[in-house]
Structure 1
Amino acid sequence: MPYRFDRRTFLQGGTAGLGALALGAHPWRRAARWAAAGPASTDDRLAWWREARFGLFLHWGLYSTLAGEWGARTDYAEWIRNSAHIPLAEYERLLGRFNPTRFDADRWVSLAKDAGMRYVTITTKHHDGFALFDSKLTGFCVRATPFRRDIMREMADACRRQGLRMCWYHSIMDWHHPDYLPRRDWEAETRPVDGARYARFVRYLHGQVTELLTNYGDVGVMWFDGNWEETWTHEMGKTLYERCRTLQPSVIVNNRVEGWSPAPITDHLGDFRTPEQEVPATGWPGVDWESCITMNRNWGYNSHDHDFKPAARLIGLLVETASKGGNLLLNVGPRADGTFPEESVERLQAIGRWMAVNGSAIYGTTASPFASAPFRATAQGNRLFLFVTDWPTAACGATGVELRVPGLRTPVRAATLLADPDRRPLACATTDAGAVVTLPPDAPDAVCSVVALEFERPPEVAR
């Protein structure tokens, strides 16, 4: 029987069913490379991305003008054309309303940079088919709006000026293109499939990807999505992956370029996994992955969605992701006028304040070596970083508290708190069970304090 998968199935990475289908038993191993993809090794191409650990995701498009509202409902976002059953002709009229006069690419990139992010991934085209760039292959793009300016050009230039990597999200699914199949069930009568040819759509898709990888300089990542319908096949995914790597040999491509297959797939596609709205329980040792997570409930802008995660929770997600060996792609849904919601700005700034002190414990690190510990941790060469959110309780009158480091087998050369500008040394003793670090009675950071341990050699931890 053909192996079928949908969006829900695809996103449940690590399950047995998905392992037999799109991810395979050992997908995206760091030592692996796609044989026909050119001379750059996987390690070389992913070096900057593994160092970065933290990026900004942006969902912006025509749907932003509706702010989540249609009819009597206010709970829509980027899927609104499909979820609210908006006829194509009516949705196209939003072109006349898209005029983000307050858009400032340098401001957006500056907010990301100040938050400690190292790359930006933006929706060049979401499932609705609207292109935020000046595509010569369609009239359904930013050129047809009152704004007219090529947003991707401005974003790429701003990232280049400020030293961040520009990355493109691009949807394979396209609810606007006349040759994309299948149609949505609810519009079958108004949009008959007569004359539609999926092969023409695939050529169009390749054409837009070529524009994106030709006209805007170096691109860090091609982040595909909308790949779960059976019309998009594994062989099509392989060809698109090859196209990306041919146009830019160093570009990184995510696993959502993968397509459907009537048989188990053995030549898996993509350079990293993309868990959505979660951090995998144990990470994926030996596998590159990036969790994409929203600040509130939606990816695109919804003016009624004020259910934002506290900044402390978002910092916790960043720490959790890094401690498990992954990247965090944190989403903002800009408003139709081109500005970020105030709640998003406040959280980016709070994260930035924490990263300004503790970023060295995130960038370029690998997963925690501890099987079990009262803290999360990252490793980097001869250093370990311990993230302490639950500060040990001091005994009455005590001048310090003890943090036990279970299983540590290598003597500690120096221990300090990253939040201590004077880097005063912390007392550290070795025990049969590991090590004990003496901390001050009060945490220097109310959200998460980081203890840095330095060694003469890469530390060994008993598991």
Structure 2
Amino acid sequence: MGLRRVCAAVVAVLLASLLTVVAQGPAQAEVRHPRQDWLRQSTAGLFLHWGMFTAPKHLNCAEWERDVTGGGWTADYWIDEARKLGASYVVLATFHSRLGYARPWPSKIPGSCATERDLLGELVRAGKAKDVKVILYMTDDPQWHSEHGVQMLDSAAYSAHKGEQVDLTTREGFGRYSYDLFFEVMRNYDDLAGFWIDNDNEYWERNKLYEQVRQLRPTWLLSNNNEDTPIMDTVSNEQKTGMFPSYDYPAATFTPMPRLSEACYKLPNTGDWWYDGGNHAVDTRLNTGRYITNAGSSIKSLMAETPMVNGRMPAQQETYNNFMAGWVPPIRESIHGVEGAGYLYGGMQPGFWNDGAHGVITINPRTGKQYVHVVTRPRADFVRLRDNGYRVTGVRDLRTGEQLRFTQSAGHLTIQGITKWDEYDTVFAVETLGQQGFYPDVKASATSSGNGFPASNLTDGSHETYWDAGGAQPVSISLDLGRRRKAAFLAINQRESSPTHARVSFGRPEDSSRIKDYQVTGSDDGRTWWHVRSGALPSARGTQFIDIGAQEGRFLKLTVLGTWGGPQAPVYSKQLKIDEIRVGHSYPRGSRDGALEAEDASRSGSARTESCAACSGARQVTGLGGGERNAVTYRDISVATAGTYALQLDVTAAETSTVSVSVNGAAPTSVAVPRDRADVPDAASIAVSLNAGANTVKVFSTGRLGLDRVSVGGLPPSNYTPKTTLTVQPHGVQWVGPGQQSVKITARLRLDADDQIDEVSLAPALPAGWTLTGAPAVRTSMRLAGLLEGTWTATSPAGQDVGSASIPVAASFQLLGSDRKVSGAVPVRTRPADRVFVREAEDSANQFGSTGLTGCGACSGAEKVRNIGGSADASVTFPQVIVPETRSYRLFVRFTVNGARSYFVTVNGGAPVEVKVDGVGNNTPYVAEIPVTLNAGANTIRFGNDTAGAPDLDQIALA
């Protein structure tokens, strides 16, 4: 008997003995384990959706296999394509609910398509020969069993195999069938690397499937889709979109390091996850950006391609793979075997940098070398980013080998004179002498701690322990320096357990749990406190900084006044968690090289230089108040081409004022500057017209202002609008009665980006004949986290029905002198004559619990409520359902569903009534009708299912 047969026999005995194993206690996450080491060293994987329904669709298993083999399918081709992408593993999704439940291996368990040729075995062997792991996808979902009119699950054959009746089209029956398949695969494929689980099945969990995988195949990985299941090694985050920049995939993820996580996304711009017959384009800019930003957050890029029946990739995907085969190797050391920097592995600050630049940092944990990845280049010839206390000794362009000039002061590294930009990722290798300037012995306490995560975790030196605020807001953290000491800044690493901005993902509302508004105070005795600084932090990943100027005292207190997350996403609202807070006492200093420092320019009147530790070059020019007589004048600000540029001024402001700029003697242009510290600079930008060559620029102010430095960059592109959150109420189509109607509208604009916008106005725009009560809401300027709110009443014309109307609500503003606009709308419709009440499920008047809204093009109002059922909280409640009299009504429920599901409908707190429905496709609306008895006036109707998933809900109506 060969060694392989011996191993298989041993595994078979273990399988038999473990089928009845019941693990004790709840599963615990193994955040780190030796079996994960290979994946931690990886950058990417290749996700292959391929099966019977790959175009051209096959409904017969033997015919599909014949065409696979006849078309020339080879395992080596897939492995080679993965290697071109820099991928260390392949996930094969063939046993997929939308691809016919095909098994690419010879199986002794009947129930769905299985090939005679061992395609899985060939792939595993090919991967092993070229050091590429293979992971097998497994689905829990039987609902698509007859999507194409042919039954793809053979319940009769499986029932005969088991000796009892099992319905594979139910979750219980399918869970039982697929449970057996796990063990068959474990028995037969020693060199498989694990399973990729597309959500859980109750049968698997009840029978401790994962615990048995752990015992039978302890080196195999388990990955789960879209949720953090403790026993899994990897959390996979599927197809996140809507971020800015669009490639910044980590902005939509929710898993803190060192937990392993994947970004799972399609490379083709359009089409299904599987080959649908089209040669869809691949956006190189988008996908290289995802690849790099994921590496900069220790997230693995699981890239989905769509192989054809013969295994070949469509031409545009092959072209992309070939591009990556040449693009990755020159920067390989910066993306392979590295970790994301700015988090628990140390490193400088990722995110948005100067002049529109955006990128990430990677760090080699063994050598300490850091890599600055500029994915979006700045509108200038330099990159300026926070150094996080690292003393830099050298900077080199990794692709060209060119040594670059740099300066370092005020907590920033500036890489200068950059002339060669890669189209997708310019990488700078940065050598440092390590981190300096932080106190190592700070003690922390807080006014509130929750869930067993005390404030002492904030300063214990470990990012793997954290403080939980316990839902309290405001909440204060006191930092004891041990004795009276100097302090210059706070460096804060918040828990990366939420996305960076409000969004909806698969119908679930998400939001950022990070600090928004804060206040810092100081004290010598812990009892009497003085104001140090207040402001807002951006909702961003990685280390965030609060510069506090020249402070001296024993205690610092950070009071978090509010976080970014709103109540529409209760899972994230007020859920502040912080890994570490460090107190910095000084900034690393480097050589100066003639940057546009204010102290090097000409001065007039009372303008004078003084020291400023938080300023570039450690000096600034003060005394600029009082107008043009007290000024700083630059005689030689040069540009190559005449045009309009963004002039950034780093200023300190002891009081609210304006800063003004005159270029070449022209009339000055001014911008408002809010009050802040006189020894901490902040940026203000003005659009200025410059001539080719040298220009004279004079800077002055109306109030007490200091000038640190200026820089010149291009204007933001015309398609850039700073990120805002515009909330318009009421949300959803408003169904009103006949005749004249009035609609109360409220709107709230929040600026989420670290830009300044000016001349801000917020107001509805009415259809012809309507009248508006209430003036536009206006602000002269807004900065990060600024708010603008307004309330109006819109009244339709007298003597006629509303009909079909839309009331846009627009926020207009200027960005560096250029007009921008964001808008929402309140659609209003007259309800049908045979309906006494109509309301959309997504209407803001409803209560949503843990459900969420999602788009649905075929639905009324183009939205619906998803994720109803499975718990008491996952429900939708319609309050204020108003009818004219007490009697029985016909309730029309408009819904979408795939398969058989049930609502339980409760009226005015009465006994729930089950409403069973069935349908095919979650984008096809159906209508169910049930009788309900309602009281005259207001009623409450609840839709839920406490124990199982319910259909998605579009609208209700009463006749």
* 1:169 alignment counterpart: 137
> In structure 2, what is the equivalent of residue 316 of structure 1?
289
Task: Give the aligned residue type for 1:415.
Answer: V
Counterparts of 1:364-379 in structure 2 under 5 Å? Answer: 364-369=337-342, 370=349, 372-374=351-353, 375-379=359-363
In the TM superposition, what is the alpha-carbon distance from 1:124 to its structure 2 partner? 4.3
AA at the equivalent of 2:101: G
Q: Which has the higher contact order (CA 8 A, sep 6+)?
A: 1
CA RMSD of aligned residues (A): 3.5
- What is the deviation of 1:456? 3.0
Q: Distance in 1 between matches of 2:217 and 2:433?
A: 41
Indicate if the aligned counterparts of 1:103 and 1:338 stay in contact, CA closer than 8 A: yes
Q: How many residues are matched?
A: 376
Q: How does 1:173-192 map to 2 (within 5 A)?
A: 173-174=141-142
Q: Which residue is equivalent to 2:819?
A: none
Aligned counterpart, 1:55: 45
**Residue 392 of structure 1: CA displacement?**
4.3
Could you say what secondary structure the match of 1:55 adopts?
strand
Answer yes or no: is 1:301 the counterpart of 2:260. no
Q: Distance in 1 between matches of 2:393 and 2:206?
A: 50
Deviations 1:169-188 (A, max 9, x none): 111224688xxxxx889999
How has the CA–CA distance of structure 1 residues 456 and 134 changed in structure 2, closer, same or farther, with 3 Å as cutoff? farther
Aligned to 2:942: none
**Structure 2 partner of 1:131:** 103
Is 1:96 aligned to residue 63 of structure 2? yes
TM-score normalised according to structure 2 size: 0.36
The change in CA–CA distance for 1:45 and 1:408 in structure 2 (over 3 A counts) is: same
Task: Call closer, same or farther: CA 1:332–1:253 in 2, change over 3 Å.
Answer: same
**C-alpha contact (below 8 Å) 1:123/1:132 kept by paired residues:** no
Offset of residue 203 of structure 1: 4.1
Aligned to 1:252: 221
Give yes or no for contact 2:175–2:203 (8 Å, CA) kept in 1: no
The residue number in structure 2 matching 1:277 is 239
**1:58-115 deviation line (CA, Å, top 9, x unaligned):** 0111001436xxxxxxxxxxxxxxxxxxxxxxx6435324422311111210111122
After superposition, the Cα gap between the structure-2 partners of 1:234 and 1:104, relative to the gap in structure 1 and judged at 3 Å, is closer
Q: Retained in 2: the 8 A contact 1:383–1:458?
A: no
1:440: which partner in 2? 418
- Is the alpha carbon distance of 1:430 and 1:248 closer, same or farther for their aligned partners in structure 2, counting shifts above 3 Å? same
Match of 1:344 among 312, 317, 335: 317
1:301 and 1:333 in contact (8 A); partners too: yes
Identity of aligned residues (%): 21
Unaligned 5+ residue runs, structure 1? 1-33, 68-90, 178-182, 259-264, 395-400
Task: Give the aligned partner of residue 551 of structure 2.
Answer: none
| Letter paired with 1:454 | E
TM-score by length of 1: 0.72
- Residue 328 in structure 1 maps to residue 318 in structure 2: no
Distance 2:41 2:173 in 1: 39
Q: Deviation string for 1:248-273 (max 9, x for gaps)?
A: 10211112498xxxxxx9x8442222
CA distance in 2 between partners of 1:186 and 1:154 (Å)? 32
- Find the structure with the greater CA-based Rg: 2
Q: Match for residue 177 of structure 2?
A: 204
1:429 Cα deviation from its structure 2 partner: 2.1
SS in structure 1 of the partner of residue 183 of structure 2: helix
Match of 2:382 in 1: 402
Pick from 397, 412, 416 the counterpart of residue 417 of structure 1. Answer: 397
SS in 2 for 1:159: helix
**Residues 292-311 of structure 1 deviation map (CA, whole Å, 9 limit, x = unaligned):** 111123211011362x2322
Matched with 1:153 is 121
Please report how far the alpha carbon of residue 358 of structure 1 lies from its aligned counterpart in structure 2 after TM superposition. 1.5
The answer for the alignment partner of 1:363 in structure 2 is 336
Give, as a single letter, the amino acid of the residue that structure 2 aligns with 1:378.
T
Change (3 A) 1:94 1:175: farther
After superposition, the Cα gap between the structure-2 partners of 1:455 and 1:156, relative to the gap in structure 1 and judged at 3 Å, is same
Tell me what 2:370 maps to.
Answer: 384
Distance 1:438 1:132, change over 3 A: same
| Inter-CA distance 242–312: structure 2 relative to 1 (3 Å threshold) | same
Which residue of 32, 35, 47 corresponds with 1:45?
35
Please tell me the residue identity of whatever aligns with 2:360.
Answer: R
Q: Compared with structure 1, are the counterparts of its residues 139 and 268 closer, same or farther at alpha carbon in structure 2 (3 Å cutoff)?
A: closer
Whether the 8 Å CA contact 1:238–1:269 is kept in 2: the answer is no
Distance 1:293 1:173 in 2: 20
Q: What is the distance in 2 between the residues matched to 1:456 and 1:192? A: 66
Which of residues 429, 441, 461 is equivalent to 1:452? 429
Contact 2:350–2:360, Cα closer than 8 Å, also in 1: no
1:109 to 79, 82, 100: 79
SS of the counterpart of 1:281?
helix
1:451 to partner: Cα distance:
0.8
Distance 1:364 1:35 in 2: 35
In structure 2, the residue matched to 1:82 is none
How far apart, in 2, do the equivalents of 1:126 and 1:357 lie? 37
Q: Is the 8 A contact 1:325 1:366 kept in 2?
A: yes
Q: Distance in 2 between matches of 1:132 and 1:240?
A: 22
CA spacing shift, 1:372–1:105, aligned 2, 3 Å: closer
Deviations 1:2-54 (A, max 9, x none): xxxxxxxxxxxxxxxxxxxxxxxxxxxxxxxx988899873322221121020
Rounded Cα–Cα distance in structure 1 between residues aligned with 2:544 and 2:225: 37
In 1: Cα distance, 2:327 partner to 2:265 partner: 19
Q: Which has the higher helix share?
A: 1
| CA displacement at 1:338 relative to structure 2 | 2.3
Aligned equivalents of 1:402 and 1:451: distance in 2?
12
- 1:285 maps to amino acid: P
Gaps of at least 5 residues in structure 2 are 1-23, 160-164, 241-248, 343-348, 354-358, 438-542, 546-959
Give the Cα separation in 2 of the matches to 1:119 and 1:288.
15
Is 1:124–1:152's contact at 8 Å kept on the other side of the alignment? no
Amino acid at match of 2:266: T
Give yes or no for contact 1:210–1:247 (8 Å, CA) kept in 2: no
Following the alignment from structure 1 to structure 2, what is the Cα–Cα distance between the partners of residues 368 and 169?
31
For 2:123 and 2:154, how far apart are their aligned partners in 1? 35
Distance 1:270 1:104 in 2: 31
Question: Residues of 2 paired with 1:38 and 1:151: CA distance?
Answer: 34
Contact 2:28/2:230 (8 A) holds in 1: no
How far did 1:221 drift?
Answer: 3.0
Are the aligned partners of 2:128 and 2:191 in contact in 1 as well (CA < 8 Å)? no
Contact 1:285 1:325 in 2 (8 A): no
State the partner residue of 1:216: 189
Structure 1 residues 315, 459: closer, same or farther in 2, change over 3 A?
farther
Q: Shift of the alpha carbon at 1:329?
A: 0.5
Cα distance change of structure 1 residues 55 and 96 upon mapping to structure 2, 3 Å threshold: same
Indicate how the Cα distance of structure 1 residues 247 and 455 shifts in structure 2: closer, same or farther if over 3 A, else same: same
Does the aligned pair in 2 maintain the 1:59–1:299 contact within 8 Å? Answer: yes
Q: Which moved more, 1:39-48 or 1:238-247?
A: 39-48
**Do the aligned residues in 2 keep the contact of 1:37 with 1:249 (CA within 8 Å)?**
no
In 2, Cα distance between equivalents of 1:432 and 1:367 = 24
